[in-house]
Amino acid sequence: MNTSDFLNNWRRLSAASRVLILNSFTFNLGFYMLLPYLADHLQRSLGLSPWYVGLVIGLRVLSQQGLFLIGGTLGDYLGYKRLILLGCLIRVLGFALLGLAQNLPLLLLGAFFTGFAGALFTPSSNAYLAYQAPDQVQRNRIFAMQNWAREGGLLLGPLVGVSFMAVSFMWVGLVSALLFLALFFIQWCFLPELSEQVKRSATEQRFWQQWSSMIKNEHFMGFILCACAFHLFFQQLYLSLPNEISRRGLGSDVITWVFMTTSILGITLQMPISRWVSRTLGSAKAMGLGLLLMGGSFLCFLVDVADFSWLSFIAYGVIFSLGSMLLLPLLGAHIPLFCDKSELGSYYGLYSCVGGIAAFLGNVIIGWLLSLDGLNHNWIWLALALLGTLSGMGMYRQIRSLSVQQSA
């Protein structure tokens, strides 16, 4: 993406959109300072088995995405800014615990607080951002810019994190916590209240009635089930990737290079790919192809080049990143098509809640499989590639059907 394109898109944004996009960069900066190195810290420094590592990481996923529905619904009723601020404070506590804890109970508590914080601020942030787009074309552009900012944080986060890892993982956790504390004060001062938000009231509909109506929305649930594969694939950056790198006797610097590769590609290609999707490919094909590529990227783990073992991980990062760039912005941009504006937080929450449960169960199962001495890991990578193919075909049909309904 060239500078003039970015500036033109930036000028079209509201003040709130600009703050939220900058927040996305900062969220990922703090998050990726710590998370890429957590599994390696748990396994090498604390001596936990892959199953326990999967449990800690899976709990973080479950407490975040599994509780998104509660966080999103609270945002609909209490206001999005309030939930964003509260989430930042809780993540400060979670990251500090992960940095300081030396035993499993405290690690699990830190993982829970870290995830629950995301459950509070992420759906409210996405819902607030969706409010800023009057139509689908602008919404696609805004969420693409948000993903572009996230990639910037993903690029710098591991670089900052690895510099503190040279001292101690404790410093990684504490510095990440301080970053979120600073972010709390920045948003408190500069993120405007969403005056146009139509807050829901318990008198018009009980929250469980609202949840029931969402679950009965067949088109939305079909969309969610296909997207579950994305959540599972993404979590393997923190479980399968570090485990496979460690199994081949490579250092944690390879993790840094994989994240740098995906980030650089995201920064340079996200907006051009989004324009290509808008003008040529179309959303349905892009989302189906994205899942296919993300699942297929695990086939790179089948290859081990003598003296250049790291090459297969870089290839994995390239293919995974291309799939993510095709898919991720469109997932967030399409959710408002299924609901009324007053329910945005809840719909974003349910989407991530189901995905979180799927990712948690998948992490526990994959962590268990990785712990089995007699199992050939190639079967795991083949299964993930097959899942990408099937979910990609399902997502293509879902979005194509939705497009036909919207144009009718």
Report how far residue 216's alpha carbon sits from residue 221's, in angstroms, rounded to the nearest whole number: 8
Q: What's the gap between Cα 12 and its chain centre?
A: 26
Q: With beta carbons less than 8 A apart as the criterion, state whether 294 and 233 touch.
A: yes
- pLDDT surpassing 80 at residue 24: yes
- State the distance between the two ends of the chain, measured CA to CA, in whole angstroms: 34
Pick the closest to residue 330 from 284, 272, 390 (CA basis).
Answer: 284
- Same fold for the domain at 11-204 and the one at 207-407? yes
pLDDT in tens, 3-15: 566 677 777 788 8
Q: With beta carbons less than 8 A apart as the criterion, state whether 393 and 291 touch.
A: no
User: Domain 11-204 carries which CATH code?
Assistant: 1.20.1250.20
Higher pLDDT, 224 or 406: 224
**Local structure of residue 395 (DSSP, 8 states):** H
**Local structure of residue 340 (DSSP, 8 states):** -
Backbone angles phi, psi at 91, to 5 degrees: -70, -30
Confidence bin at 200 (pLDDT 50/70/90): low
Mean of pLDDT values over 289-305: 94
- pLDDT surpassing 90 at residue 92: yes
Query: Where is average pLDDT lowest: 60-69, 87-96, 275-284?
Result: 60-69
Q: With beta carbons less than 8 A apart as the criterion, state whether 355 and 230 touch.
A: yes
* Average per-residue pLDDT for the chain: 86
- pLDDT surpassing 70 at residue 58: yes
- pLDDT surpassing 80 at residue 403: no
User: Domain 207-407 carries which CATH code?
Assistant: 1.20.1250.20
pLDDT of residue 389: 96
Q: With beta carbons less than 8 A apart as the criterion, state whether 95 and 173 touch.
A: yes
Q: With beta carbons less than 8 A apart as the criterion, state whether 330 and 277 touch.
A: yes
Confidence bin at 312 (pLDDT 50/70/90): very high
C-beta neighbour count of 371 within 10 angstroms: 15
- pLDDT surpassing 90 at residue 392: yes
Confidence bin at 57 (pLDDT 50/70/90): confident
Q: With beta carbons less than 8 A apart as the criterion, state whether 387 and 228 touch.
A: no
DSSP character string of 106-152: HHHHHHHHHHHHHHHHHHHHHHHHHHT-SSHHHHHHHHHHHHHHHHH
Report how far residue 293's alpha carbon sits from residue 326's, in angstroms, rounded to the nearest whole number: 9
**Local structure of residue 307 (DSSP, 8 states):** T
Could you tell me the residue ranges of all domains in the chain? Answer: 11-204, 207-407
pLDDT of residue 61: 75
Pick the closest to residue 354 from 218, 225, 235 (CA basis).
Answer: 225
C-beta neighbour count of 249 within 10 angstroms: 7
Mean of pLDDT values over 264-277: 87
- pLDDT surpassing 90 at residue 16: no
Helices 15-40 & 169-190, crossing angle to 10 degrees? 170
